[in-house]
Each structure stands twice: as C-alpha cells, then as structure tokens.
C-alpha cells in the first residue's frame, strides 16, 4: 500500500514538474517572439535606405600592428574612393614587421595620406586604444571613419554611403562589417551567421533608441563625440572594446544612426579554424561585462532564452509530455525566427547562411555557453 502511495506521489510530482517546464517553455518562446519580431523586426522589416551624399570632409582612420600584407591590399582601395575631400590616417602601432615601411611608401605617393608612428609606451604597452587616440588627435577633419587593416570596402562609394547618414543631430554612424565567403566551409557559414545576428541586434536596438555597440571594422563618428566621453579613458585598461565599449558609452538615441546599404559594407578575412574563431569570440564576449546594465541584461535574457529553448523541449519530449503541442511551438518559433533573420540576411547580403539556420543556431548556442565557461576560468588574449 505504501509503495502504491509512493508511486502515486511521484507521478503527481512528475506531472507538476513537467507542467512547470512546459509553462516555462511557453514563456521562453514568448520572450523569443518579442526579441525576433518586436526588437529585431525594427531592422529586419525596415525599408531599404536611400543615400543622399553629404560631402563633409572625412578622415579615414586605420590602425595596424604587423599587418604588412593586408595594408598593401587595403590602402589602394582607400585611395580610389569616389569622394571629393578625404584624408587617410595610417597608424602604425609599433609593428615589428614591415608595416611602417609600407605606410611610408604610400605616404610618398599620395598627398592625402598622413602617417602616425606609435612607439611603445610603458603606461599603455601594446594598447590599441592608445594608438587610436593619437590617430584621432592627428586627423585634420572632424568627421572620422574607421576600419581595420584586414578589411576592404565593398565599393568605391564606401565613404560616400557611410558619411551620407551624418546630420546635425546624428553624429555616430554604425556600419556593417561582414566577413568574406569561403565556398564549402561550414565554419565560414557559422561565422557569417553570427555576424549577421550580431548586426541585426545592434542595428535594431539603435533604431529603437538604445544603441549599445558597433564594430571598428566599419564605424563613423564626429570627433566631438570622442572627447565628450574622454575618449577611451574610462575603459583604457580593458584591452578590447575600442569600438563597442566606446559606442556603449557615447551612443544615445539622439546622436546615433545606422547605415546598411550594400555599398557601405566592409569585408574582412574570416578565421579558418575553429580554435582561432573560438579565441576571437572569447575576446569579443569578454567586453560585454563592461556594458551598461540595461545592455548586459537584454543580451543576457536573449542568450538565456536561446539556451533554454534548446534544453526545455528536449526534457519535455523525453517524457513525451504534450509532445504535439511542444513540436507545434518549436515549429512556430522557427518560423518567426527564420522569417525575421531571413529579411535581415537579405538586407546584409547573407541569404545563403539561412539554409543552415537551425543547425548553425544550435552550434552557436553551445559555443556561446562554452565561451562563457572558459572565460570564467581564464582571461582571453587581446591586441597583437
């Protein structure tokens, strides 16, 4: 008799537990719906941008450390930009290869190239933010456009399209820094989907009036915004974050806009091994703990909901609990997420990665959890 009562009690407990998990699963999908449709939809379903050239004088700033081969490719593409008035500020951050020599060669050939030579400073040893600060101060124009040494602009209209979004009020422009496609590489698809998802997030929140990050591969702002927040001083000791931590501090609803016309994109060479990509992700994720509390929370809620969406239905289906409803909810979630990200992928020219969406998403969720655990026990390596 006691055994029968115990069995009945355990069944009741199991039913209560599974009901609780099922209810939590519904809440998680509702949270995902709010993110994908309400938040991300702000960018995904937005109209295509039009470009009205402003023709304000621009200083293009490139900071390089041991990038000899990359800058040989980049500088000619910058020089050929179809823009009436711009200079190129090349910052050599104490390179040990021939980067400085390459810069000097181009400086002799082009009058609109300005070279900034950075020597190692004991207080800011190997700190990219120190080198960038010197370049920003050396620039002659108030409007600054940034890219990395391993990037290339997507067109000769890169400066035109990025600067076109400046207005009297909008003095920070967030651009899209894409990664080159590598045929037959699944890792490349993962990297490009993650970049797509990240851009959809920061573009959407910027459109909602809560900008929280940008990427140094493609970023523009007026110099006064830099000095308003004392440059990088408040996070100088954090080796990463010359782009996202600065934007997190300086960007507001009234001063920030986005640019996503294809001519404004930049492209970088992606990592080709999982180990290198994982190390890169560790660096990027390590800066998020320095974001404003609201931004940390909204990112945390999103990624937690991603993880729970992966775990909870596995538990429910393992017990065959309301399996028809569970599968229907899973299908509903994938439909609205696929539609939202599909529209975003169309805008950012990344449609091919969407064919692999469910698989890539699972890989990213597991990788994100692994990054969090790894960063908890060891610090990532930063600027070269």
pLDDT value of position 383: 44
Closest C-alpha among 336, 372, 44, 49 to residue 205: 44
Distance of CA 334 to the CA centre of its chain: 23
Instruction: Determine how β-strand 58-64 pairs with β-strand 143-148.
Output: parallel
Distance of CA 16 to the CA centre of its chain: 41
Q: 270 with 248: CB under 8 angstroms? A: no
Return all residues near 185 (Cβ < 8 A) that are at least 6 apart. 272
Q: 211 with 136: CB under 8 angstroms? A: no
Return all residues near 113 (Cβ < 8 A) that are at least 6 apart. 75, 79, 87, 88, 90, 103, 106, 107
pLDDT per position in the chain (384 positions), as tens? 544 444 554 466 778 889 999 999 999 999 999 999 999 999 999 998 988 888 899 999 999 999 999 999 999 999 999 999 999 999 999 999 999 999 999 999 999 999 999 987 655 555 899 999 999 999 999 999 999 999 999 999 999 999 999 999 999 999 999 999 999 999 999 999 999 999 999 999 999 999 999 999 999 999 999 999 999 998 888 878 889 999 999 999 999 999 999 999 999 999 999 998 888 888 778 788 899 999 999 999 999 999 999 999 999 999 999 999 999 999 999 999 999 999 999 999 999 999 999 999 999 999 998 988 888 877 665 545
pLDDT value of position 40: 98
- H/E stretch holding 361 reads helix 357-377
State pTM to two decimals. 0.92
Exposed (0-12), middle (13-18) or buried (19+): which is 238, by Cβ within 10 Å? middle
Distance CA 170, CA 324 (A): 50
């Amino acid at each position: 008799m006691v055994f029968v009562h115990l069995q009945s009690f355990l069944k009741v407990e199991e039913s209560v537990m599974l009901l609780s998990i099922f209810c939590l699963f519904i809440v998680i999908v509702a949270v995902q719906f709010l993110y994908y449709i309400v938040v991300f939809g702000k960018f995904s379903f937005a109209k295509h941008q039009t470009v009205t050239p402003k023709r304000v004088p621009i200083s293009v700033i490139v900071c390089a450390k041991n990038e000899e081969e990359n800058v040989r490719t980049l500088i000619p593409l910058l020089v050929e930009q179809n823009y009436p008035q711009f200079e190129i500020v090349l910052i050599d951050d104490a390179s040990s290869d021939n980067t400085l020599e390459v810069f000097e060669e181009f400086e002799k050939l082009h009058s609109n190239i300005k070279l900034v030579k950075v020597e190692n400073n004991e207080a800011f040893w190997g700190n990219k933010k120190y080198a960038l600060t010197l370049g920003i101060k050396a620039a002659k124009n108030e409007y600054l456009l940034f890219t990395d040494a391993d990037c290339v602009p997507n067109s000769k209209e890169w400066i035109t399209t990025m600067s076109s979004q400046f207005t009297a009020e909008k003095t920070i422009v967030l651009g899209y820094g894409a990664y080159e496609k590598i045929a037959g590489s699944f890792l490349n698809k993962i990297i490009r989907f993650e970049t797509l998802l990240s851009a959809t997030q920061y573009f959407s929140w910027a459109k909602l009036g809560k900008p929280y990050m940008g990427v140094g591969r493609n970023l523009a702002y007026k110099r006064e915004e830099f000095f308003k927040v004392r440059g990088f001083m408040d996070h100088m000791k954090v080796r990463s974050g010359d782009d996202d931590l600065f934007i997190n501090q300086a960007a507001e609803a009234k001063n920030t806009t986005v640019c996503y016309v294809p001519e404004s994109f930049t492209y970088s060479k992606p990592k080709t091994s999982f180990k290198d990509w994982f190390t890169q992700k560790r660096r990027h994720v390590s800066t998020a703990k320095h974001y404003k509390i609201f931004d940390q929370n909204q990112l945390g809620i999103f990624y937690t909901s991603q993880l729970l969406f992966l775990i909870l239905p596995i538990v429910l289906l393992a017990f065959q609990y309301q399996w028809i409803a569970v599968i229907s909810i899973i299908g509903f979630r994938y439909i609205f997420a696929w539609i939202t990200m599909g529209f975003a992928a169309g805008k950012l020219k990344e449609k091919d990665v969407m064919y692999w969406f469910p698989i890539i998403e699972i890989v990213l969720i597991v990788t994100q959890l692994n990054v969090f655990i790894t960063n908890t026990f060891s610090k990532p390596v930063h600027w070269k």
